[in-house]
Structure formats: C-alpha cells, structure tokens
Structure 1
Amino acid sequence: MKPNKAVAVIVAVSIAAAGTSALAFGKMRGEGERGSRGEMRFEQLDTDKDGKLSRAELEAGPAARFASTDANKDGKLTADEVTVDGQKRAEKRFGKMLERHDADKDGALSLEELKGGERHAQMFDKLDADKDGFLSKDEMRKMRKMGKRHDHGKKAD
C-alpha cells in the first residue's frame, strides 16, 4: 500500500472509531433519559440499586445504547441507523417542546411561542440587576447559576 493510501485508511478508521465512541458517549449521557444537564441519571446507571456504581454498570450504559441504535443487530452502526435513531430522539424532544410551549395548541410552534414572550421579558428584567437595559457578564453568570439549580422548572436538591 502506498504511504498516502495508508495514511488515508488510518485517518478514515480513526474518524469512524471516534464517531462511534462519540455516539456511544452521547447515548450514555442520556439522550432522551436526561438528568438536569443531559447526563444519564445515577439511578439509571445503578442497575443493581445498591447506591453505588461499579465499573460494569458504567460500561453497560454505552453498550446498551449502542445495541438500541443497531437496528439490524449486526454489531455495526450505519448512517441510516444513526439517522433513524436521531430522528426518533428529535421527535421526542419536539413533542416535549410542544407540551411546554404550544400556547394555542395548534401542534406547531411559532416564533412568539418559542421566544417565551412575557416570561422571557420578566426573566431579563430580573437578571438586569443594575437596570441598565443590558446583561453584563456577571448578570449572565447569575443566569447560568440559576439554570443549574433548576431541572425543568423544579429546584434541584
């Protein structure tokens, strides 16, 4: 094999391996089964419910996610399988968005519904501590801290 072809093969294999690892890691982080920041919840990983995670429990997460995406069960992921899986997750996420934001219940989201209207204006006013009509870096940091304390509108413990 010529050196250029060898390098191309190594790069292609590396990209494929990285993509599979990224998919497995993303799946382990809990696409569709999220904690407050997208991570798979401790309770989901702790399959024997003993209050602690073993190495086997941590390693089982990505394997289970890989298996659920591998529709034809051949031990390999194709672009079609990943696309179908991603489409299912996107539909589920959009369904949740509709539940939260579709004020007129027409099954679609307008820009106004997505913007949050009065709720966002109130949040801006609350964060604008110095009332100058702008959010500073410090005020934005406060917003991020508030977001970490909330999980879908509920205060975290």
Structure 2
Amino acid sequence: MKNTAFIAAILATAGVIVAGTAHAQQGGFGKHGPKVSFEELDTDSNGEVTKTEMEAHRDARFAKADTNGDGKLTLDEMQAQARKKAEARSANMLKEFDKNGDNALSQDEMPKPRRAGKMFTHMDADGSGGISAEEFAEAKSRMGQKRGWMKGKGKDCSSN
C-alpha cells in the first residue's frame, strides 16, 4: 500500500512538472528560460543569425545574471536568476489558467499533462495496472540513459 501511494505521489508530481513545463514552453519559456525570437537574435536584421550573434546573446544573458560583474556566476546569482524565471513562469501560468479570476489555481484549472497517462502505461510494462519496483527502476534507468544520450548530443552539436 505504501508503494502504491509513493508511486501515485511521484506520478502526480511528475504531472504537475510536465504541465508546468508544457505551459512554460507554450507561454514563451523554454527549458533554460525565455524563448528568444529570430528577430532578437538577428541583431543586424539581415535575415540570418550568425554564430557571433548567438554568442553575443549568450554573453548578454550571462552578464545579466552576473550582477557583480566579476565574470563568474555565484550560487546566489544563479539562484536569483532562477527565482526571476520561476516568478515570471508562475505569473504567466496564473494569468493563462485562472479561469475564475480568483488569483489562484484550483485543481480543475491546472493544465492537464499531455503525457501523464501514457507515461504510466509505458512504465507499467506488464500491463498489470500498477508499477512494480522493477518496472519503476527500469523506467528510471531508461530516462537516465536518454538524458545521457541527449547530453552527449548537446556536446556534439555545440562543438560544430
């Protein structure tokens, strides 16, 4: 019984995170912060984004987070930047989903995760209607492998 409650709690938490992420991506935020338009990157407005323009944008974001200007990001600076992003995402989420205008999100107003049901079904490999410790570990392992592969791809892509 404890395992069932634990798994349910994990899936519920994952659902909220997925919903928040889905909303953030739809609402102008990507995985690492505000989505940037092509026009913002194309600073000389010539219709194409150069590597120099992308690097300048990255450098500007770093400089904005580096509040003391020492060329390094401290834990405090990173946390302050993360708080700003979280506050903006939360405000956008409330604005979009607060259907009754009470400045709070009820369970019914929360965005529904697009893949929560599919995630459970995928984890329940034997179709028993429950996720065993082995199925949970296997799913966790697959996610770890996928993330490792994606990190590797990111390294490969950035070296070009």
What TM-score do the two structures reach when normalised by structure 1? Answer: 0.49
Work out which of the two has the higher radius of gyration on C-alpha atoms and give 1 or 2: 1
What TM-score do the two structures reach when normalised by structure 2? Answer: 0.48
